[in-house]
Chain A
Amino acid sequence: MLKSKKLIQPGTHYLQGAEACAEGAMLAGCRVYAGYPITPATEIMEHFANRLPALGGRTIQMEDEIASASVLLGASWAGAKAMTATSSPGFSLMQEVISFSIMTETPMVVVDVQRPGPGQGYITTSQEDVMQARWGHHGEGSIIALAPASVQDMFDFTIRAFNLSERWRTPVLVMAEETVAHMRERLVIPPLEAIEIVDRRQPQDAGILPRDYLPYGHGQVPPMAIWGQGYDINHVSLVHHEDGRVSGYNAQTHFNNVDRIRRKIEDNVAAIADVEARYIEGCRHLVICYGSVSRTAVEAVLEARRIHGVAIGFIRLRTLWPFPEAKLRDLVPGVETIFVPEMNLGMMKHPITEALRDRCRKVVAIPSLGCLHTPDQILARIREEIQ
C-alpha cells in the first residue's frame, strides 16, 4: 500500500480498483472524505483513512450514508474537493443529498460500487443502479455519471469526475461495480503535468466583488464563493432568484432557476459525454455496453468477427449520463440488431432504444444478475439471434 505523503507518482503501478479510485481523487485535489462501511465499497474509505491525513486532508467515518453525503456539501462550500463512496443500498440513502447538491449547484463526487439488489440483494457485482443514478433523486435536474471498466478507468474517471464536478458545479457519480473496485491490474500514470486538474471558478477569478456577487447569476454556471472569504453567500435549495432571494416566488423564476440547472448539463453533452467505438465501419450488427461488461463483450465481438465472420461493431458508453444520444446517432447510420449486455435485466437498453429506434431493426438485451457475463454467453446470444 502506498504510504508516502506525496501523491502517487508517474509510472507503472499494480493496484486494486478501489485504491486507484482513491489515489485519483487525491491527485485531483480531494482533501475531505466521508463514508460509511459497506461491502463492496469499504476498501475506498480504508485507503483514504490511511493516506489522506499525511496529505493534510481529513477522512471521517460518519453515522450513516446520509450523513456521509451531507459532509460533502459543507466541505465543498468551505472550499474543499470532497467525495464519498458507497454501494447500492447506501446510494439509495444518498439520493436526498444528490438532489440538494443539484439544486444548490454544489460540486461533489459520489462513487457507487454497485452490488445487486433489490434489498440487501447480494454482495457481488451489478449494474442495477444506472437508472437510479439518473432518476433516483427527487425533482428535475440533470446528472453526470461515468462508467469505469478497469483499474486505469477507476483512476482516470475519478479525476475526470472531480474536474466535471468543479467545471459544471454539479454532483458527479462514478458508477463503479464490485468487479472494477476489487480487480487488481496495471495502472499507468503519466507525468503529473499531463494530467488536467480543474478547479471551480470563484467570483474573485471573474473580478466580481462581494457587493456585486449573485450566487446564482453571472451566466450558465455561476462562480462559486467559498465560505470564509467575505462574500456572505447564502446557499439555498428552495427555488431562488439569481441573488439567492427566496421570497417573491413566481412560476417564471421557478422555470428559469431549474431550467438553467438542467441546461448547463444538457446543452453541453458534447463536451461531457464520452463514447468509445470499434469496428463500426460497415457493421451490420452492434454491441453497446459499459463498465466491466465491455471487457467480456469486446472479446465476444472479436470472436464473432474473426471466427464466425459476423460484421458486428462495438460501442462502449464511458459516460452514462447525460446520455450521449447525438454521439450514438453520429456513429450508427443503420444496423440490423443492437445487443445490449448489462448486469441487470435491461436498463440502459431503454435510452439506447430511444436514441436509435430508427437506426436498427431490433434491440436485444443480454441480462446477467450478480456476475459478469462470459464472452461465450454474449457470443451465444448473438449467434442465436442472427443465424
Chain B
Amino acid sequence: MTDTAHPMLKYLKTTGPSGPRLPFIMCPGCGAGQVLNYTLHAVDQLLAEGELQKKDVVFISGVGCSSRLTSHYLQFDSGWTIHGRSLAIATGALLANPNLKIIVFTGDGDAAAIGGNHFIHACRRNLNVTIICINNGLYGMTGGQVAPTTAAGAATTTTPHGNVEDPFDLCRLAETAGAAYVARWSTAHPRQSVKAVVKGIRKNGAAFIEILSQCPVHKKTDPVEMFKELRQITARSTDAAAMASGKIPVGEFCDIDKPDWISRYQRIIDQLRRQEDHSCTV
C-alpha cells in the first residue's frame, strides 16, 4: 500500500485467490461508496478507541445497490442476503450471539418496501443493530423504478406519467416504531454521518441512520450538481424557518436509552435458571 492509498482500503478485500474484487460495482458518482467510507471511518474510530473488536463486527445487507456493499469487498464477517430480509437475519445472528456488533446496509426499497414489515418490527423490538439506509429515492439496481421514497409526481420507468403516491418519511417511521436512535443526513454531510454511525454503533438498541444519496445515472444529472443540491434541499430540523419553507429535515430525531430485546429476554433466562437451581437444592 502506498502513501496515497485510501486509509479505509485496509478494511477491503481488494483481491483474492480467484482474482481481483475491485473495481467497485457502483456507478461513477454514486453515493454508496461515500456511505461505506463514512461507515468504515466510524468503525475505524471505535476500533482505535478499543470500543469494538474487529472480529465482532458483522455487516449484513439485503439486495439492491446499497446492499451490494457487503457482497465480497469487506474484510469483516458479513452476509449479503435476501431482498428485504437483512433485519430478520440480523435478529437471528443476535439471538445466537448477542456479542456481535451488527451493521446493516439497506436501501429505501429494501428497507421500506419489501422489507418494510421487518424494518418496523426490528425497531419495535429495539434490536441492537445499526441500520444504515442509503436513500436515493428509487430502485437503482433494476434501472430506476419508483420506490416508496420517490417524490409524488416524479417520473420513473414504472411511473412514466408521474408518481401518484406520497413518499415515506423513514425516520418518522423508525421513531414511531420504537427505534432508540434515529438520524438523517446526506452524503453531503460526511462528518455528521460519521458521528451518527459512531453513536448508532454505541447505542444499545435499534439505531436507524438514513443517508440521502445521489443516483446520477438514473436521474440523468451531474453528480456534483446532485451533491450540491443535497446541501440545498436539506436543513437542520431545529431551523424553523427552513422547515416552514419545505426543506428536508436532517439531524438527530431520537436518542433515548431503553432495554433492547436481548437484555429483556436475558432477564427471563436468568430468572428461570435461578428457579431451576433453587428447585434442585430442595
Contacts and interface: CB of A to CB of B under 8 A. Distances in A.
Interface of A: 4-5, 31-32, 34, 53-54, 56, 58, 60, 62-64, 66-68, 70-80, 82, 96-97, 100, 214, 227-238, 240-248
Contacts of B99: 228
Interface stretch (B39-47, B79-87, B140-148, B242-250): B79-87
B89 A228 contact: no
Pick from B71, B95, B276 the residue with the most CB of A within 10 Å: B95
Interface in B252-271: 261, 265, 268-269
B96 A235 contact: no
A109 B13 CA distance: 32
Contacts of A240: 72
Interface in B48-104: 54-56, 58, 60, 70-72, 74-82, 85, 88-97, 99-100
A227 B77 contact: yes
Nearest to B90: A74
Given A77-B79, A245-B18, 6 more contacts: A73-B92, A74-B91, A228-B58, A234-B72, A243-B18, A245-B72
Pick from A214, A229, A235 the residue with the most CB of B within 10 Å: A235
Contacts of B92: 32, 34, 70-76, 78, 80, 82
A275 B100 CA distance: 43
Nearest to A51: B272
15 contacts: A32-B92, A32-B96, A34-B91, A58-B95, A58-B269, A66-B88, A71-B88, A71-B89, A77-B93, A79-B96, A79-B97, A80-B92, A234-B74, A234-B77, A234-B78
Given A54-B272, A74-B96, A234 B79 contact: yes
Contacts of B54: 230
Nearest to A247: B21
B72 A60 contact: no
B95 A100 contact: no
Pick from A53, A54, A78 the residue with the most CB of B within 10 Å: A78
| Interface pairs A-B: 10 shortest CB-CB | A74-B92, A71-B92, A80-B96, A74-B93, A70-B88, A78-B96, A75-B92, A241-B18, A67-B88, A74-B89
B19 A245 contact: yes
Interface of B: 13, 16-21, 25, 54-56, 58, 60, 70-72, 74-82, 85, 88-97, 99-100, 117-118, 120-121, 261, 265, 268-269, 272-273, 276
Contact of B77 (A54, A232, A241): A232
A67 B81 contact: no
B277 to A, nearest CB: 9
Given A62-B88, A73-B89, A75-B95, A235 B80 contact: yes
A305 to B, nearest CB: 50
A63 B117 contact: yes
B96 A237 contact: no
Contact of B269 (A56, A79, A82, A229): A56
Contacts of B272: 5, 53-54
Contacts of B72: 234, 236, 240, 244-247
A235 to B, nearest CB: 4
A30 B35 CA distance: 37
B95 to A, nearest CB: 4
A54 B71 contact: no
A235 B18 contact: no
A233 to B, nearest CB: 6
B95 A235 contact: no
Contacts of B58: 78, 227-228
A236 B117 contact: no
Given A4-B276, A228-B99, A237-B81, A242 B93 contact: no
Contacts of B71: 234, 236, 238, 246
B20 to A, nearest CB: 8
Contacts of B74: 232, 234
A216 B203 CA distance: 35
Given A234-B74, A243-B18, A247-B19, A63 B80 contact: no
A318 B225 CA distance: 65
A228 B88 CA distance: 19
B95 A80 contact: yes
Contacts of A248: 18-20
Contacts of A232: 13, 74-78
Contacts of A78: 58, 92-94, 96-97, 100
Nearest to B73: A234
